[in-house]
Amino acid sequence: MADRSLLGGAEPCPRREEAPEWGYEEGEGPGGSGGDKLWVAGGSGGGLSVCLSVRPSGGAVPRVGSGRDITAAPGAAGVEWGLLFPEANGEYQSPINLNSREAKYDPSLLDVRLSPNYVVCRDCEVINDGHSIQIALKSKSVLIGGPLPRGHEFELHDVRFHWGRENQRGSEHTVNFKAFPMEIGKEHVGLKAVTEILQDIQYKGKSKTIPCFNPNSLLPDPLLRDYWVYEGSLTIPPCSEGVTWILFRYPLTVSQVQIEEFRRLRTHVKGAELLEGSDGILGDNFRPTQPLSDRVIRAAFQ
């Protein structure tokens, strides 16, 4: 259960907003380093989506699936992920389009409530790796329950952001063929500490430490009941499968000023020569939707 004493903290560590989409992966992580990892892809809005990476404290869920599917790498015209990363050819790839009418209600998802116990992180490093913005977390925060394996807790490792060049896109998953990036509206106070320093890490390889970040600000209502679940993969290379995605129903809200701070970021080192056809702007850094195949989407609500 989330520590409620942390949800109403000081201004840099504000209380929750609304609604991320999550997923966890147990198998090789994006770096291909081996070891189990829970991949939580988070709230989207205004062309921005948030991904939280959480590693299980113990035990592993078997990896599944193989098949064919080749996807062109965003921002790298002519490069096919399936040629470089065999797992991207799998039958159970992510993201997908979610048809809400075909989702099957599964009351067992509520047997053990999905419960985060996220704590405020002090002195977090924010990094521009040329592909996304990452927050490296140091404090021990855990997630249990819902569709996650019983008896296991999953530790929050880092937070990553993906965004579109336009407000109409930015979320990786779509619902009924509609993208759900964060809604443009009021400022997302939980992201203020991040967006305020993005100008200092505009170029690839730059990083900066922020004094405080509260991951609870990326969570929806504390009951965490309105979500869909399906089996998929990482959405970045190596596209490892064996991932259970938890997609929340409602979007986050972010201000236009905040999303524009992300759109000023660059994919390259300062002063580097750009590749032909590239403007160096970091954006549209999300994978297109993949075929659902024979997978079943489960819903924790009716």
Which residues are known catalytic residues?
Answer: 131
Q: Where are the alpha helices (DSSP H) in 221-270?
A: 256-263
Is residue 182 within 8 Å of 47, Cβ to Cβ? yes
Is residue 144 within 8 Å of 264, Cβ to Cβ? no
Would you report the helix, strand and coil content of the chain in percent, each value rounded to 5?
15, 30, 55
Locate tokens 């659902």: which residue? 292
The helix/strand/coil state of 1 is coil
Locate tokens 């989207």: which residue? 44
* Residue 163: its H or E element: strand 154-163
Of the candidates 157, 223, 124, 127, the residue with the CA atom closest to the CA atom of residue 25: 157
Is residue 159 within 8 Å of 51, Cβ to Cβ? yes
